[in-house]
Amino acid sequence: MKQYHNYINGDWIEAIDSQANINPSDLGDTLGHYARADQKQTQEAIDCAHHAFQSWSMSSIQTRFNCLDMIGSEILARKEELGSLLAREEGKPIAEATGEVIRAGQIFKFYAGEALRLQGEHLPSVRPNISVEVNRSPLGVVGIITPWNFPIAIPAWKIAPALAYGNTVVFKPAELTPGSAWALAEIISRSGLPEGVFNLVMGAGTTVGQTFINSPKVAGITFTGSQSTGGRVAQACVSRGAKFQLEMGGKNPLVVLKDSNLTTAVEYALNGAYFSTGQRCTASSRLIIEDAIHDQFVDALTEKLTALKVGNALDKTTQLGPVASQSQLDQNMKYIAIGQDEGATEHVRGGCLDLATPGHYMSPSLFIETDNKARINQEEIFGPIATTIRVADLEEAIATANDTPFGLSAGICTASLSSATKFKTECEAGMVMINLPTAGVDYHVPFGGTKQSSYGSREQGRYAAEFYTSVKTAYIGT
């Protein structure tokens, strides 16, 4: 079985330990054994990135463009192969997995262009014979910590801007999905970046991630993952004055008003709540439906939901792949039991499935007529489980949508411009979707949330510069 090593200072280096990467669609299929670094190896990677920073921060923007553009081109050229690797290790159906790979390629291309568009400002001073320049400088070593649910797109949207703005990188992917990260690192290793500028350190969060967040040589941490780990990252960074950015969970509402097109509203609910097996931070897990069409909506969604084909992610006819891991499957079953214990009606019963290949399969679940205060509506489940909440009107819909600790994405289906405008203005979310699913975003505009979903500046698009650079103001006497 192939062993996949860490990439440190331009070399592939064996770690003291490794772990098997197992296909959730077929537990008998192992993708390979991936390195697990200890603290010492992690520190070596940080030291190399720290050493490489001085010259990379001064590198020409043409060099940065060339490297990032090459990475983007190769990802796009190999989209099918990388898509099937991603589907095999994470369980996302092959079409969705290939779509994620394409997005990763586009992100590298976008930031290649951004490297050429670095800007500053030149201003007059309020004092005579002085001029002022405001420029952006890279931070230094950026520690990148990512989750398993978008194993190539999230690394791409952190690594590409980090490098474009002149930072060096230590990157730790999720333990569950090191395969896509390794494939991405292998492409990066051939892009012409000087040694030490990009380093892949696979391993445990509590070892590798913890070493990143504690190291005084790591100037900034960009983290995507759960709220509980995000809290730990924040504490460590605040205590040593490091810059950090957190993207965490969601409990995203999709409001459906009685004047909406029912067919498309049901399609958007099905897509937003269940596609990617509900394992998206932007999943619409709370379906807030106006009283007059609630029952019709439930009937139409039930028909679609029960017809969804659950299966192996590599089978092109599969619509719902397996859950990514046994622990996530256990969590999903736990929340179904919590919903039932709380007295909610499970209208479409979700449960574990035995299919042709042994995997973490489950059928989707829909609870109806639920109370927004119930745990299944307040806590992130991260599985193919959604609820309906019946509301009287738009006012109640907005109040219900906002009654959550999270604030990532929020959607509304309506034919009324004034209802859409009111929702867009009053909903407490970083991203608003009007007559669209709550999940599914562009790569060239900001991504992020409010309340406990996010902390710090936005990711993606030009807004990424806020995190990956610091602003320097120079006064020049003439």
CB count within 10 Å of CB 150 equals 25
- Nearest distance from C-beta of residue 431 to ligand NAD, angstroms: 10
Residues numbered 276 to 315 that lie near ligand NAD (CB under 6 A) are 281
Judged by CB under 6 A, the residue of 3, 30, 206, 345 near ligand NAD is 206
Window of 209-217, 296-304, 384-392, 434-442 that interacts with ligand NAD by CB under 6 A:
209-217
Any idea what DSSP says for residue 352? Answer: B
* Site membership for ligand NAD, residue 272 (CB under 6 A): no
Cβ atoms of residues 294 and 384 within 8 Å? no
Euclidean distance between CA atoms 183 and 88, whole angstroms = 13
* Site membership for ligand NAD, residue 455 (CB under 6 A): no
* Site membership for ligand NAD, residue 412 (CB under 6 A): no
Judged by CB under 6 A, the residue of 247, 257, 323, 339 near ligand NAD is 247
- CA trace torsion 325, 328, 329, 333 (10° rounding): 170
Cβ atoms of residues 162 and 190 within 8 Å? no
* Site membership for ligand NAD, residue 145 (CB under 6 A): yes
SS3 content of the chain, % helix, strand, coil (to 5): 40, 25, 35
Give me the catalytic one of 89, 114, 175, 247.
247
Q: Judged by CB, which is closer to ligand NAD: 377, or 419?
A: 377
Active site residue 247: yes
- Nearest distance from C-beta of residue 439 to ligand NAD, angstroms: 10
Q: Judged by CB, which is closer to ligand NAD: 37, or 300?
A: 37
- Nearest distance from C-beta of residue 380 to ligand NAD, angstroms: 5
Output the CA–CA distances (angstroms, integers) from residue 251 to 16, 279, 336, in the order listed.
39, 12, 16
Type and span of the H or E element at 35: strand 30-36
Window of 114-122, 156-164, 243-251, 461-469 that interacts with ligand NAD by CB under 6 A:
243-251
* Site membership for ligand NAD, residue 100 (CB under 6 A): no
* Site membership for ligand NAD, residue 386 (CB under 6 A): no
Alpha helices in 21-93 (DSSP H): 39-56, 61-77, 79-90
Q: Judged by CB, which is closer to ligand NAD: 202, or 314?
A: 202
Q: Which two tokens stand for residue 82?
A: 């990388």
Window of 17-25, 226-234, 345-353, 395-403 that interacts with ligand NAD by CB under 6 A:
226-234
Euclidean distance between CA atoms 245 and 458, whole angstroms = 8
Window of 26-34, 167-175, 253-261, 307-315 that interacts with ligand NAD by CB under 6 A:
167-175
* Site membership for ligand NAD, residue 174 (CB under 6 A): yes
Q: Judged by CB, which is closer to ligand NAD: 150, or 367?
A: 150
What is the phi/psi pair of residue 448, to 5°?
160, 175
Cβ atoms of residues 366 and 409 within 8 Å? no
Euclidean distance between CA atoms 83 and 95, whole angstroms = 8
Instruction: List beta partners, residue 477.
Output: 130
Q: Judged by CB, which is closer to ligand NAD: 10, or 205?
A: 205
Judged by CB under 6 A, the residue of 232, 347, 424, 462 near ligand NAD is 232
Q: Judged by CB, which is closer to ligand NAD: 257, or 329?
A: 329
Judged by CB under 6 A, the residue of 21, 149, 312, 438 near ligand NAD is 149
Q: Judged by CB, which is closer to ligand NAD: 163, or 408?
A: 408
Cβ atoms of residues 438 and 252 within 8 Å? yes
Q: Which two tokens stand for residue 202?
A: 């696979």
Q: At what angle do helices 394-402 and 417-426 cross, to 10 degrees?
A: 30
The β-bridge relationship of strands 168-172 and 141-145 is parallel
Window of 5-13, 246-254, 291-299, 313-321 that interacts with ligand NAD by CB under 6 A:
246-254
Window of 171-179, 290-298, 312-320, 392-400 that interacts with ligand NAD by CB under 6 A:
171-179
**For residue 45, what are the contacts with CB-CB under 8 A and spacing of at least 6?**
6, 8, 9, 37, 170, 199, 201
Judged by CB under 6 A, the residue of 112, 270, 408, 439 near ligand NAD is 408
Active site residues: 247
State the residues that interact with ligand NAD by CB under 6 A: 145-150, 172, 174-175, 205-206, 209-210, 213, 224-226, 229, 232-233, 247-250, 281, 380, 382, 408, 453
